[in-house]
Amino acid sequence: MIENMKEDILEKYLRAGEILSKVRGEAKDKIKIGVSLLEIAEFVEKRSIELGADGSAFPCNISRNDEAAHATPKAADETVFGEDIVKLDIGVHVDGYIADSAITVDLTGKHRDLVKASEDALYAAIDSVKSGVTTAELGAVIEDTIIGHGFKPIINLTGHGVARYIAHTHPSIPNRRIDHGYTLQTGEVIAIEPFATDGIGKIADGSWSEIFSVIGKKPVRLPAARELLKEIEPYRMLPFAKRWLKTEKLDFALMQLAKAGIITSYPVLKEVSGGLVSQAEHTLVVTEDGCKVTTL
């Protein structure tokens, strides 16, 4: 029982989390040098459904090295893992209730401390969560932990609230000290995701996008755009991957919907100084005296 949250809703959050952690563990074991990124992404997305999820909350993100987030394979992508620092970020939902979790797999074998920096920051933040704690306090804990390991937090990436069929919502959970935080309350669901880097600690948009989501509703006339709009309808406002789509003249249709303000793209996010990036993330429900992590 968690105050402010109906029992059946909590159950769905917990089931989404359970499915995610099983898929995450299985996928982690498959990430090896020479394995294709597309194979891992497709495994994650199919296996979630097999285990009872109603869908992905967003495309499986596989970001490597100086990529922090929002990388996902293209259709027929032949890229394979090399000596990479791999961020595997998974989202699943049960009836729209989302679990969001990420791990870093170090295929170089040389950056255990960078991986540990974001993991320790995540667990330090989780230990601090309870009703009444502010996001400013969490940001300070995350920053101090990462700096204590000799790295920098990525200051323009944050954790976030989740809501039904909404992968990112208020409040944002900073990865650094801020002046005025938001006070967390029992029953709120948040994802905490520290990013650590040996670079300067900032990301910027890269040059390619494979992930999109609907941001508005408007009628469209062009047949290709109409076809695409119909195809992406089941995802509601959740992000989807270009490789999931079968609409003909796909690039043209995506461009039309973007121009009309119906969809937006999520370019791959890269550390601006080319630093290596690690990430760790869990989703949790805030309780009176702590929290219930759904994705452990």
Could you tell me which of 143, 151, 93, 107 has the C-alpha nearest to residue 122?
143
70, 93, 149, 160: the active-site residue:
160
What CA–CA distance (Å, rounded) separates 271 from 264? Answer: 21
168, 188, 227, 282: the active-site residue:
168
CA 269 to centroid of chain Cα atoms: 12
DSSP state, residue 234:
G
The residue among 227 and 271 lying less far from Mn ion, judged by its C-beta, is 271
Residue 281 known to be catalytic: yes
Q: At its nearest, how many Å lie between Mn ion and the CB of residue 281?
A: 5
Q: What 3-state DSSP class applies to 91?
A: strand
Residue 227 known to be catalytic: no
Q: At its nearest, how many Å lie between Mn ion and the CB of residue 168?
A: 7
Residue 100 known to be catalytic: yes
What CA–CA distance (Å, rounded) separates 17 from 42? Answer: 19
Could you tell me which of 47, 105, 102 has the C-alpha nearest to residue 81?
105
Q: At its nearest, how many Å lie between Mn ion and the CB of residue 106?
A: 18
The residue among 58 and 229 lying less far from Mn ion, judged by its C-beta, is 58
* Long-range CB contact pairs, 49-54, < 8 A, 24+: 51/19, 51/22, 51/23, 52/15, 52/19, 52/94, 53/16, 53/19, 53/20, 53/92, 53/93, 53/94, 54/93, 54/94, 54/95, 54/96
By the criterion CB under 5 A, which residues form the site for Mn ion? 89, 100, 102, 191, 193, 281
Q: Is the Cα torsion angle 183, 203, 105, 60 positive or negative in sign?
A: positive
The residue among 100 and 119 lying less far from Mn ion, judged by its C-beta, is 100
Residue 168 known to be catalytic: yes
Pairing outcome for strands 85-94 and 291-293? unpaired
What CA–CA distance (Å, rounded) separates 48 from 57? Answer: 10
The residue among 191 and 224 lying less far from Mn ion, judged by its C-beta, is 191
45, 84, 188, 193: the active-site residue:
193
Instruction: Report whether the peptide linkage leading into residue 171 is cis, meaning its omega lies within 30 degrees of zero.
Output: yes
Q: At its nearest, how many Å lie between Mn ion and the CB of residue 184?
A: 16
Could you tell me which of 78, 41, 75 has the C-alpha nearest to residue 58?
41
Q: At its nearest, how many Å lie between Mn ion and the CB of residue 191?
A: 4
Q: Are 52 and 19 in contact (CB under 8 A)?
A: yes
The residue among 99 and 228 lying less far from Mn ion, judged by its C-beta, is 99
Residue 77 known to be catalytic: no
Q: At its nearest, how many Å lie between Mn ion and the CB of residue 66?
A: 18
What CA–CA distance (Å, rounded) separates 108 from 85? Answer: 7
84, 89, 119, 198: the active-site residue:
89
66, 84, 281, 282: the active-site residue:
281
The residue among 172 and 256 lying less far from Mn ion, judged by its C-beta, is 172
**Residues catalogued as catalytic:** 89, 100, 160, 168, 193, 281
